[in-house]
Structure 1
Amino acid sequence: MQQTTIQKTVKCSGIGLHSGRRVELAIRPADVDTGIVFVLHDDNGTRFLTPNPNNVVGTGLATTLGQGNDTIGTVEHLMATLRGLNIDNVQIDVSGGEVPIMDGSAASFVFLLKSAGIRKLGKPRRMFMLTKSFEYRDGEKSIKARPYDGFRVDYTIEFDHPRIGTQTMRFELTPESFSAEVAKARTFGFLRDVEYLQKNGLALGGSLDNAVVLDEYGVVNGEGLRFEDEFVRHKILDFIGDMSVSPLPLMGHFEVRCSGHAFNNAFLRELTENGAQYLRTVEAEEAVPVQAAACQEQDVAGMPVLA
């Protein structure tokens, strides 16, 4: 499987989740082995940020990349889309300090990147393949990873809310499944928490236009849900995005319990820091199928306010 980039530059703008201000984004083609590179534009000039587990400096409400005083927020949905569509090399220009939240899902980024077109490059894709099982646990939170030729997620959530309850989904990542099964799933939060955050100057861009909001009894949004299990689908979308800050795309079967942005990043840091024990760098066609066991665990409460 060859590395890829996009065929042409595409642009969009929207509201920033954190600031509530208009932010702009341009995604440009890049050469082989460039990887994903963010370019921050502001009054202080132009700086470059490369996704890496150790460059994640914020996980409140969303995933924020940073280096020194420079930060770019809300990167996870765009990162998930690049991984989901198998796009390896792009330059992402950001004005306004964060990626626009759009409608709270990855659907707009799928449309944008498919509109740009995908172009193969003249070098094989390199990936991280798990060589043996790895588990990261902190109290009730855990992520179990095991060797697998692909990217599979078993995710269960459990919320003490009449509209969510327990939801479980097994997901196998391909460009087709990403677009159809998880890209349209929106971020979600609870009305009482959103009101508190905004009163304290946080999540200023959050609204019914870019999140599923729940009161004590059900969904506040007039249009309702896009999927009956939209909540667990969005948690899988976030997980894909958070794993995509790995230096190379990961292959594995992941059983996720009680996780969120912060725990996802802690797991990925631990895994990559111990990569000599658990990871092998391969070219895509070298991967060997490995049978993955089914998930038998459940996620429980303790998720972030905005999932």
Structure 2
Amino acid sequence: MTAEDAVQKFLEWMATEKRASPLTIEAYRADLARFLSFMAEHLDGLPDMAGLARISLRDFRAWLAQEQARATASRQRQSTPDRAARTRARRVSAVRSFFRYLARRQGVENPAVALLATPRSKKPLPRPLSVTDAKAVPEDIASLAHTPMAQQRDGALFLLLYGCGLRISEALNLNIADLGTLASSGVLRIRGKGNKERLVPVLPAVRQALEVWRTQHPSPQPEEPMFPGVRGGRLQAGVAQKAMREWRALAGLPDHVTPHALRHSFATHLMEGGADLRVIQELLGHASLSTTQRYTLADEARLLDVWSRAHPRAQKTAQPREGTRD
């Protein structure tokens, strides 16, 4: 078996047994192709299965050094240094996962890969919208749509994103048939990352908007997508993102205001209202509580910012009051 064959089998295993998303599969495919391309040049030939087991820690570090050099050379095209570090960390994760697969399924062990350090990156804190802006999103974006159908659809979609904290992909993957559980129990069955399912309660305002939208749906058959495009088929995420870009430009809001920011807003506003962290974890479908805890840090950062701007003793320079000595 060649190294390319092993990569293909690994990706098939990721898709079938690990239920990795198509985006993850394609990212790992590209990452491993870069890795093998480097090793083919670095080792004067593409390693076979035995050669993969002989790759040394020095070889792995040479690959990481090249990745670092490429990131430095293209720094101007990167959004932030942290994004470049996250990309390199993902590539290390792809290589580690590949070699774990080789050890468990193909009998090819390489202990050096366990010693490979992961590039560290600082995870950005969630940046939610204000309550006022988040509540305005569905109606305002709907008013920008060019057809009555798109207006009804966009209003229901963006209200669902904020009202239930869904990822844009989760909302767009819903079908009309999924409204069945909503009618009977007031919840939606959501398929999230890794095809994992969770039940999400739906607020009365969101439920009403979805029911109204169903009556306006151009083809409300159970197998049809809940949010179709103007020309039929499932609405693409890029269309929803473009609609929000147009709205935020008119509203004078920053670039981080995206459909995903509505998910951050959902979690942050629940936390500010006193919701339990475990409940928010379940509603968002986070596998790890540490992911949800970022909203705690974001709330602390917001409180610190309010304190630093509002408290009299937090001012850097204080003007003496009239009638007092300097």
Q: Which structure: greater strand fraction? A: 1
TM-score under structure 2 length normalisation? 0.23
Larger Rg: 2
Of structures 1 and 2, the one scoring higher in RCO (CA 8 A, sep 6+) is 1
TM-score (norm 1): 0.24
